[in-house]
Structure formats: C-alpha cells, structure tokens
Amino acid sequence: MDKLIHGIAAEGTIRLMAAITTETVAESIRRHETSPTASAALGRTLTGNLLLGSSLKDYDRLTVKIESEGPIGAIVTESTPEGTVRGYVRNPLAEAPQKDDGKFDVSGIVGDGTFYVIRESGYQMGLHRDPYVGSVPLVSGEIAEDFAYYLAKSEQIPSAVLLGVLLQNSEPYVSAAGGILIQMMPGANEHLITMIEDTLNQAPHLTSVINDDAKPVDLLKLALGEIPFDVLEESEIGFKCNCSMERAISLVSSLGAKEVRSMLDEDKGAVMDCGFCSENYTIDKSGLQEILGKMN
C-alpha cells in the first residue's frame, strides 16, 4: 500500500510532506492505457494532488486541473482527505520523444495553459458552498514547477516540489512514483532554505531512490540532508473512484423518460463509461424498463 507522511523541521517553520505513489499511479495508467509520456504527466499530477491535499484543511474534494494547449488537452485529478485520488487525461495517447537526458518530455505534450486548484467543502453534509478556485498560468508544463508556482502565487507559500514517475517496458510497468513537498512558513530561517536548495540540487533522482525501496521518510532525508525533522503522521493513500452502478442508474434516470425510452427502443440498453477510471456500467433492457417504471 502506498504511504504519505507529514513532518516538520526548524520548530515548525518548515512543513514537510512525502509520498510513495507507485501502486496508485500504476492503477490509474493501467485503467486509462496512457502513452509513456502521458503516464508520466498523469502520475505526477496525481502525486502532486495528494501532497497538496495533505497540506490543506477543510475540504471534501480537491481538484487539480490543467487545461493544456498541447496534445494532451487536459489533466484532471481529484483527491479526498481520506487519501484517495483518481484522474484522467483528455488525450491518453499524447506522446513526445524523450529528452536528451532520457527524461520524459512532459512539457512537450502539455505546452502552455492554465493550472487550476478547486477546493470544495460541505457537500458531503448537504451544504452547497461555492468552491474555492485558484488559478495560475503554467510556467513549465513539467507539473512539479507548476505546483510550486501555484503555491507561491495563490497560497503565498514558498515551496519546493519534486514529482517523479519511472516506467519500464516490462511488468511492473511503473517501477517507481512519488513526490516531496516542502513548504517554508513565516519565520523560516533563510540559511536553512539555502541548505535545502543545495541538498535538492545535489540529490539523486527521486525515482531512482524510490526504485531502491525507499520509504517516504527516506525521501525527506534525501531532501533535508543534515537538517533534523520530526515525522508527525503517516497515512495510506491509493487510487479509488466513487463511481458505481447506482450512480450510473441515477444519471440515466436524470435524463428523463423520453430519453430513457429512446435508449430502450433504439439501443435495447445503455452503457455508461466513467471518465475517471474507465469502468463500464451496462444497463440492460430490463434495467431501463425498471427505471421507466419508477418514473410513472
């Protein structure tokens, strides 16, 4: 099971989050059958959403959406306070040649665009509050830098964000995935900030460390070097979609009797596809007849 940890350093003036998301990312790209570069883009965004959500309070659903002018079109992810996440890309087959250093050219398929964070609260209790929506232009399209830019501009929190996805041609397709989020709170020592920046610049690739069976706490050690820190909490995270046959039936019912009758007469049934997890829900002829019966 994937894990995420919270920590603090420098008497709480530096907040720390680190996560291993290998299984989470693997499940998502298995469902969507994304190309390698689209897989990297989706995996980074899923991981970033989980890290960002773990730093926030008072939300029921956190959506990170990238509206892209590049071939991928869009990346949409949703997380919950329980540590579940789901997501998809508009064009799962978007691809670009790898960079000279062998890394995925995520920015090549994302291009310019806008980075949105939508925070919703209260809807699980039946409250209909307006969601908080923050947005910034994409600054790199490499995802991690875009999360950091959002935090600096919209939340006024200087942050360092590292996100990585390592793929291979054989099973398991996703060798490693994870991320680190470091937030500098008011009063953070400038010298410590410089030390962390230097440590991150000299650190090995995040995914290579995860591929060697690193735990989330090892990622924080990698990022902070000699700076001591305390782990406050560890939690399980994972891919989970809230779609269901009941939701599919409810959606079909909301179309009205005329549309349901058309599905029954012309198609002899209905198939609903979930965009977030690619699950298919088939409502057969008898199912549609039952829906119509409840409408009368």
Q: Which pLDDT score, from 0 to 100, does residue 124 have?
A: 59
Q: Which pTM does this prediction carry?
A: 0.92
Determine the average pLDDT of the residues in 88-93. 97
Under 8 Å between Cβ of 147 and 163 = yes
Choose between 6 and 57: higher pLDDT. 6
Band of the pLDDT at 248, cuts 50, 70, 90?
confident
Q: Which of 19, 60, 10, 9 has its CA nearest to residue 181?
A: 19
User: Domains in the chain, start-ordered, CATH in brackets?
Assistant: 2-239 (3.55.30.10), 245-295 (3.90.1280.10)
Instruction: Tell me how far apart the alpha carbons of residues 141 and 120 are, in angstroms, rounded to a whole number.
Output: 25
Residue 7 has pLDDT above 80, yes or no: yes
Task: Give pLDDT tens digits for 145-174.
Answer: 999 999 999 999 999 999 999 999 877 799
DSSP letter for 129, please.
P
Q: Which pLDDT score, from 0 to 100, does residue 127 have?
A: 63
Length of the chain equals 296
DSSP string, 186-235: TT--HHHHHHHHHHHHHSPPHHHHHHTT--HHHHHHHHHTT--EEEEEEE
Residue 126 has pLDDT above 70, yes or no: no
Q: Which pLDDT score, from 0 to 100, does residue 122 have?
A: 73
Contacts of 219 by beta carbon, 8 Å cutoff, 6+ apart:
18, 20, 178, 180, 206, 209, 210
Q: How large a percentage of the chain has pLDDT more than 70?
A: 98
Determine the average pLDDT of the residues in 242-256. 87
Under 8 Å between Cβ of 49 and 62 = yes
Task: Give pLDDT tens digits for 185-239.
Answer: 999 888 888 999 899 889 889 999 999 999 999 999 999 999 999 999 999 999 9
Residue 101 CA to its chain's centroid (Å): 25
Task: Give pLDDT tens digits for 112-121.
Answer: 999 999 999 8
Residue 66 has pLDDT above 80, yes or no: yes
Q: Which pLDDT score, from 0 to 100, does residue 125 have?
A: 58
